[in-house]
Structure 1
């Protein structure tokens, strides 16, 4: 793995943190475990994104239902006031 001198300190901090997070003592072990973690988290992200889209669609549907209910209620109230 080629690391430029310019980014060496940042890379050292990142690899140290990666070893800590993965509980691996070697860089290669930490990188492999980190790769698997990245894939797992990406899959979770995709699942959550899909769930959020479904919830947003359901929310829009429910909002439309509530808007229709409120509109109908207002029409009924206006109708009842007209009969008084």
Structure 2
């Protein structure tokens, strides 16, 4: 929820991803999937794909910090040109 407000204000102000996003941390306390949801992924893509997404993955009783470049997480996004 905090990130949503930050991203909306950044986009409205004309700030691109290179000025805002270098790393995105995801906190998912109840689930084992530490990645952004589909809607969030598409919205985040409007800020580019050159940033890291990290999260805490829970498998059975083990926890592990995992990370991917956003471009690896979502390799075939719609671009702005695709929708305009």
TM range (shorter): under 0.3
Structure number with the higher strand fraction is 2
- Between the two structures, name the one with larger relative contact order (CA 8 Å, sep ≥ 6): 2
Alignment TM-score, normalising by the size of structure 2: 0.22
Alignment TM-score, normalising by the size of structure 1: 0.22
